[in-house]
Every structure is written in structure tokens, then in C-alpha cells.
A and B are shown apart, each in its own frame.
Chain A
């Protein structure tokens, strides 16, 4: 089945620094990847859609300059949290969709998530 790898699993950084999170589709190509943020006991909130070779599409209320997304290849998307602050602490998860096979398998595959703590 489709595998999405996300790194790092967790990161602790100082306020004001930047953090980069990588998301890779290991056995399929993903022209589109998705970035979510999840606060404790809450749902996954879509932050942005990452498009290979073009600009990301951000959800309303998500700061483009703060959450930089780069989708440089068909298997890699990165999310950089710039000038991180404690309120950015959250669980960040990427996902992608493997469109090979039948439509019954067109679920979204998620990376293992990155727990960001800003101190």
C-alpha cells in the first residue's frame, strides 16, 4: 500500500526560530500533498494544499508567510514554520493520495505526524 513518510516525528525549538518538516511519498508520486494541524482532542484542520511545481493553496486564516510550503518534486513537500511561537505548538500531519489501483483504495495516506513544541 501507499506509504507517506514524515520527519521529524517531534521537534522542540526556541521561540523565534524556524522549523522544517518533510513529507515524502515513498512508493508513489503525489502531485498534491496536504498539510494539517491538529490540537489536542480536536479534529484535523486543513492548513494548505501543496502543489508540485506551483504555489501552495492556503486555507483562510493560515498565514502564508509563516507557514512556508515547498513542493519541489513529485515525492517531497516541506512545511517550514518560520519565527515559531508557543502558540504554533501542535501536531502537524501531511497526507497524500495514491491514485493507482481502483477507486475503492483512493483514501488519503497520512504521514506519522510531527509534534512541534515551541518553548
Chain B
């Protein structure tokens, strides 16, 4: 079963922050986050493996609430290069299933 992402789309000005949420009706054992630019393959951003884990790289970070079966991706002081579609994914029996995606547009 696919995780549910929200919002579907976000438009930001450079320097603004955004939060993308991912939830599942089934127990989550790990959450992956990917970004896909138009016409390209998805690129792995990070994986969260433990409940309560928070992780980040530069100004993109994520948290994982295992009990609530949720994860959130935080984009701080967004840059033009952050534009793309963000997918969360959950691995069920090693098969990665993706949410519907959140289209993020950062404008100058």
C-alpha cells in the first residue's frame, strides 16, 4: 500500500521554508525520501530507520514518528535548486512503494 503525501504542490519564494508530510496506514519500519527533477530519475535524499530519528543534510532534514506512522521533510531557506517533485517511500518486503509526490516550485 502506498504512503500518503501532502501537500500535492507547494510554491515558494527563494529563502522560504516548506514541510512535506508522509503518512501510512500500515506500520512504518523505515522511510525514504527522494527528489525527482523533470525528465530525470529520482535521487535518494535520506533514509530514516528508527522512530524518533531526525536527520538532515545542509538545509534539508527529515523526521520520523514511528508511532504516528508519519514522516516529515523540512526544507529550510529554500533555493532554486530545490525545485522538483519529492517522494516519500516505504519498503514493504524490500519493495519500495512511493507516495504520489509533492511538486515543489521555488521562484526567485
Contacts and interface: CB of A to CB of B under 8 A. Distances in A.
Given A43-B99, A46-B96, A110 B47 contact: no
A107 interface: yes
Contacts, number: 53
Contacts of B55: 104
Interface residues of B, number: 24
Nearest to B101: A43
A55 to B, nearest CB: 15
Interface stretch (B17-25, B37-45, B59-67, B69-77): B37-45
Nearest to A1: B44
Main SS at interface, chain B:
strand
A105 B42 CA distance: 15
Contacts of B40: 112-113
Given A95-B96, A106-B47, 8 more contacts: A34-B95, A41-B103, A42-B100, A49-B95, A97-B94, A108-B44, A108-B96, A110-B42
20 contacts: A32-B94, A43-B87, A44-B87, A46-B97, A49-B94, A49-B95, A93-B41, A95-B96, A104-B46, A104-B55, A105-B47, A107-B32, A107-B47, A108-B32, A108-B44, A108-B89, A110-B42, A110-B43, A111-B41, A112-B41
Interface of A: 6, 32, 34, 41-44, 46, 49, 93, 95, 97, 103-113
